[in-house]
Amino acid sequence: MSMPKLKDLATTFILLLFVVPNLTAQWQIDLEFGPVFNGYNDVQIPNETGTRFSLTDDFSVDPDFFFRTRVTYILDGRHVFSAFAAPLRLDAEGSVDKEILFEGTTFPANTDLRGLYRFDSYRLTYRYNLYREPDLTIGLGFTAKLRDAEVRVESDDQVASKTNKGFVPLINFHIDWMFSGSMGLLFAGDALAAPQGRAEDVILALKYYPDKSLALKFGYRILEGGADVDEVYNFALLHYISFGMILSF
């Protein structure tokens, strides 16, 4: 999808929030934060001719802090529109006992290196609640994701970087189960697989409602995926310990 078409999608998304005033509507603000840990992060750029290395095995990557936010508009309890932003940056460092050819630059073996993995994600989602009862909601929809990614390797005298911006279509799902008066279980995410790559961003979390307009959540999120194309080979797995709150009004 080209950028103009993505802008048209965003414009339509905003207009839909205001063209149906006779239906009931609800806003939600979802904030999520906590530590993020690397599982694996394998890189080969360019694919085939570059050196394959691991930002987790060949480098040292410390856990970092993440922050995500989502604004949601729910129309008539069935139609769910949301806008989402999730910046992510992980820094690595290490000395590799092999020569690394990365994006046309050769880093000699046993050179002190610094690495960067940046994956900023922005998404627009439409979801329809197929099943909606006071204690259980099940929804399915579509997410338009815009990624802004970068992998960088540098030494004291050389820097090589590969950036990538692109549109990714994903399937969105959402299961929200209230198993008691003030406690619930959330299982939700975006995911899709294709021959060129895959993406999964899924959370399983407990929710506690101190009152009807506020939910506190705690859970585990997994982000996994990547691409295997001529230009890039990169697959990563990230683990999130998630804390958050959802404000409804």
For residues 186 and 205, give the distance between their C-alpha atoms in angstroms, rounded to a whole number.
5
d(CA 2, CA 16): 21
Distance CA 78, CA 137 (A): 10
Q: Structural domain boundaries of the chain? A: 3-248
pLDDT digits (tens, 9 = 90+) for 93-107: 999 999 999 999 999
Q: Does domain 3-248 have CATH number 2.40.50.140?
A: no
Is the full-model pTM beyond 0.85? yes
Read off the pLDDT of residues 146-204 as tens digits, 9 standing for 90 and up.
999 999 999 999 999 999 999 999 999 999 999 998 999 999 999 999 998 999 999 99
